Amino acid sequence: MRVLEIRDILSEDNVMPLKEVASRLSNNRELLRKIDNYELTHVPRGNINQYVIDQHHNHSTSKNETIETMNSNPLGTMSKRKKERILETITEEIGIFWRDLARNLKIRECVIDEIDLNNKNLSMKAAKLLEAYEHKADPQRWFFVLCEALEKARRKDISRSLQDIMSMNI
């Protein structure tokens, strides 16, 4: 289940894979009934464009207008706390592998050298690296690219930690 959540196949808003498993369990109709009931009562969270919310405070807009501005970004529902925890985990644990991570994230060598020159401790170097990466990253894929880069940098342990954080409800 955790892997399905990490890959955004199973979520609060998409319980079809869970429904499929329940339907294959021939003697568990109760579970299928509960999933159906959940689908009927669940209100999708969706991702709302913050710019529109700010305008909402300045102008009166209807609920339907706000719903139309929902974003389809699967990582858009990531809470600020979760993202901070992900970045904090990397900065605390990457150590001397920060350069390998930077190269695997396709950060230019001149930027890597500048980060190295301007920062003394490793956690600050990692923080600056993540700022540079976040500036250029695709908002829909940044997490997956980051995990892949960590694995290429021989830090699969951190990648797994990030996936655990991603599956948390924070």
Q: What does the domain layout of the chain look like in residue ranges?
A: 2-41, 46-74, 80-167
Strand partners, 47: 71
CATH 2.40.30.30, applies to 80-167: no
Q: Please give the C-alpha separations between residue 157 and each of 90, 113, 125, 150, in angstroms, as whole numbers.
A: 11, 26, 20, 9
Give me Rg for the CA atoms of the chain: 20
| pLDDT string in tens for the chain (170-residue length) | 777 766 667 777 778 888 888 777 766 678 888 888 877 777 665 544 444 444 444 444 444 443 333 334 444 557 788 889 999 999 999 999 999 999 999 999 999 999 999 998 999 999 999 999 988 888 888 888 999 999 999 989 999 999 888 887 77
